[in-house]
Structures are given as structure tokens and as C-alpha cells.
Amino acid sequence: MSGNSFGVIFSVTTFGESHGPALGAVIDGCPPGITLDERIIQAELDRRRPGNHGAGECEASGERNPAVTPRKEADTGEILSGVFRGKTTGTPIAVLIRNTSQLSKDYDNIEHLYRPGHADFTYAAKYGIRDHRGGGRSSGRETAARVAAGAVAKQFLKEAGIRITAFTLRAAGVSCGSIDLSVIEQNRMRAADLKAADLMEARVAELGRNGDSAGGIVECRVSGVPAGLGEPVFDKLDAELAKAILSVGAVKGIEFGGGFEAADSRGSLWNDPIRNDGSGAVFVTNNAGGILGGISSGADIVFRAAIKPVPSIAKKQQTIDTNGNDADIIVEGRHDVCLCPRIVPVIEAMTAITLADMYLRTKMWLC
């Protein structure tokens, strides 16, 4: 495959550039009979849309979310195929998202400059041709197609009892003090702690005012996963999830369960003891993050992703131009300051696509 498809059975192919006519996704391998309509997809697209993350009340207050770009994108998802009378038919589901806010002239001044921290240089090196308008295919806008596909995966998983929740664990140096999954959609950072969210917002706003940007950590938790998903030795569940999450542009690392703390731990502390709680096997701790030997154990799957600071900043930076000469660049326009709140639905989407695929790859053993 040439890199724009993900998954073996539940397989997603995306297409589209930031400033071309449209983005879209083709979801092949979704079982027939799953309830699906455009509202289900739209709800997820809306979560990723600029200006609609965080709680409605924030928006209603008229305050601008300091973390995100004010660019307006309707991001309307149209189902083109694969659904008949409100149910999936087992044939490919295509979702189309027209680009409507294409101010590609904004990018004319960078046509001959490589933006630091962006893929401008590497795309030119690889393809010899570059669609400079807003990053083209490397734009974060491409994730809208993933979110649409993820909405289908989520719907399938929902019927299988699997629930995925991601949130901002840390941003701009501020961590959640406690974890309350119920407050995630009530704050504009999509943090799991309202107090921490306020502090995150303040720091993000300050960085934005200074022409700078912030990184963070997003955590993802999945409940209801049956034991048995994952295909060793290469397509282990954690390996597939790692690929899925690292395929999201701004992600620089991933860790499962106890993660990098494993380095300083020892076997007697790290191994999760197993007990029978009357209903079956339970793991007393979850350093494994719900995966042993690359196969789900039935415990919650837990992982965290490192999110780099938004590379588009207002400060002057050193770069080279397309002729190879040293140059300075100032990236104009309004951009996100911290990606965490908008990347939360993307990470959920990639997690859902991966789990739908691994579920279908495994289901035969469960029959």
C-alpha cells in the first residue's frame, strides 16, 4: 500500500489536501447492519472543528478559545455510499468533506520557503513537487477525514460495547491533578480536571499573545475491550495502536500503561497481579495498559501521546528557501496555539479505527 490506507479488514483510505476541492475517506470492511447516518459522522466532525471544542457555554460566552484557530470550516460530511435505509450494507462507505474556506493566497508568501517544524522540506525532497497551500496533504486538516472514518468505527465498536475516551492530560506545563472523564467536554482544553483546564487556558493564551505555542500530553482510555484482540508477533495490539497514533502529525511519542516509568521499575512492582474477583480474571494493577504479549487482556487499554508545540508561530525563525539559501520566515495567519483539544477526537478516531480492525481480525476466534 502507498500509505493512505490503514487497517486490514476494517480499512480506511483517506484523500484530500488542505486547499483542494475536498477531503474524504473510504471505509471498507465495515460489517453490514450497523446503524449509520450523517448525523453520527457530523457530531465527530464538529468536535474536531475549530471553534467547537470545549463546552458550548464557553462559545456562547463570546470568548474566543485561546488554544485554537478562528478559521471557519463548516466541515460537512456527506455519505456517498455504503448505507441503505439507515444501515451499513457491507460495501465501502465513502464520506466527502468539501473544503469551503480556502484562502490559499494566504500562503503565497511561503511558496518558496520551508516552514520549520512543518513537512514542507521533506515533502519537497520526497515528491519533487509541493502543494504549498496550507501544507497540502500534510496539513492537520487531513485529520478531518480520519475523524469521519473514526465515527463509523466508533459506531461499530459501540454496538460491541467498546468505549473510547481521550483527554488532555497535560498542556503548557500544567497537568490534570485528578481525572474526571465527565468534565472533558465541559472545558475548552478537553482536560479531565476543570481547575487544571483553567490554568492550561491561561498559559496557552499567554504563549499565544507572545507569538509562541504549547505542547502537551493526551491520554486515551478504552473500556469494554474483550481479551484476545491483537495479532502477534508483529501486529500486536500495542504495535498497531502505536502506528495509528504516531501517524498523527504532531505526535512525538506514545507509552502504554506505566510507560516510560518501566525503565526505573522492577519486576516485583511492575507485573500486574491476577485475581479472580468472582466474575473472572482481573488485574490488580494496570502497568501493562491492558495489553500483554500484544493481546488485549480485558483490562482497560491506557496510553498517552506526546504532542509537540504547534509549529506555526508568529516569531521570526531561521530556514532556507527552495533554492537552498538561508532565509528568515514569519508564519502569518491565525493558527492553533496548542493542539491538544483538537487532537483529542483525532486520537479517539485512530484508536477506534485500529480497534475496529483488530476486533474484526480477531472475531473469528471468538465465534
Torsion of CA 220, 225, 231, 236, to 10 degrees: 20
* 331 close to 281: Cβ distance less than 8 angstroms: no
User: Would you count residue 275 as binding its own copies (CB under 8 A)?
Assistant: yes
User: Would you count residue 348 as binding its own copies (CB under 8 A)?
Assistant: no
* Smallest separation (angstroms) from its own copies to the CB of 200: 12
Run of H or E including 204: helix 194-209
* 236 close to 295: Cβ distance less than 8 angstroms: yes
Considering only 54, 77, 134, 215, the residue that binds its own copies (CB under 8 A) is 215
CA dist 278 and 117 (Å) reads 52
User: Would you count residue 238 as binding its own copies (CB under 8 A)?
Assistant: yes
Comparing CA positions, the residue from 76, 77, 307, 97 lying closest to residue 189 is: 307
User: Would you count residue 333 as binding its own copies (CB under 8 A)?
Assistant: no
127 class by beta-carbon count within 10 Å (0-12 exposed, 13-18 middle, 19+ buried): exposed
Comparing CA positions, the residue from 90, 102, 93, 74 lying closest to residue 25 is: 93
User: Would you count residue 86 as binding its own copies (CB under 8 A)?
Assistant: no
Give the footprint of its own copies on residues 38-57 (CB under 8 A).
none
User: Would you count residue 189 as binding its own copies (CB under 8 A)?
Assistant: no
* Smallest separation (angstroms) from its own copies to the CB of 24: 6
CA dist 179 and 218 (Å) reads 12
- How many other CB atoms are found less than 10 A from the CB of residue 30? 27
Give the footprint of its own copies on residues 281-310 (CB under 8 A).
281, 284, 287-289, 291-298, 306-310
Count of positions on this chain that bind its own copies (CB under 8 A) = 154
- How many other CB atoms are found less than 10 A from the CB of residue 179? 14
User: Would you count residue 136 as binding its own copies (CB under 8 A)?
Assistant: yes
User: Would you count residue 161 as binding its own copies (CB under 8 A)?
Assistant: no
- How many other CB atoms are found less than 10 A from the CB of residue 203? 18
Considering only 56, 265, 330, 332, the residue that binds its own copies (CB under 8 A) is 265
Q: The C-alpha cell of 122 is what?
A: 521533506
Considering only 56, 72, 101, 126, the residue that binds its own copies (CB under 8 A) is 126
Q: Which is nearer to its own copies, 57 or 316 (CB)?
A: 316
E-state strands within the chain: 5-6, 11-15, 22-28, 77-79, 83-84, 87-88, 93-98, 163-171, 174-175, 216-223, 251-256, 274-276, 281-283, 291-292, 295-296, 301-307, 317-320, 326-329
User: Would you count residue 160 as binding its own copies (CB under 8 A)?
Assistant: no
46-54, 60-68, 184-192, 274-282 -> range binding its own copies (CB under 8 A): 274-282
DSSP per position, 9-23: SSEEEEE--TTSSEE
**Max Cα–Cα distance, the chain, nearest Å:** 69
User: Would you count residue 63 as binding its own copies (CB under 8 A)?
Assistant: no
User: Would you count residue 141 as binding its own copies (CB under 8 A)?
Assistant: no
User: Would you count residue 112 as binding its own copies (CB under 8 A)?
Assistant: no
Q: Which is nearer to its own copies, 31 or 224 (CB)?
A: 31
Q: The C-alpha cell of 253 is what?
A: 511519542
* Smallest separation (angstroms) from its own copies to the CB of 251: 8
Considering only 114, 141, 193, 200, the residue that binds its own copies (CB under 8 A) is 114
- How many other CB atoms are found less than 10 A from the CB of residue 206? 14
User: Would you count residue 140 as binding its own copies (CB under 8 A)?
Assistant: no
Q: Which is nearer to its own copies, 20 or 55 (CB)?
A: 20
Considering only 179, 235, 333, 334, the residue that binds its own copies (CB under 8 A) is 235
* Smallest separation (angstroms) from its own copies to the CB of 62: 27
User: Would you count residue 118 as binding its own copies (CB under 8 A)?
Assistant: yes
28-36, 46-54, 151-159, 193-201 -> range binding its own copies (CB under 8 A): 28-36
Considering only 64, 224, 262, 333, the residue that binds its own copies (CB under 8 A) is 262
Q: Which is nearer to its own copies, 63 or 261 (CB)?
A: 261
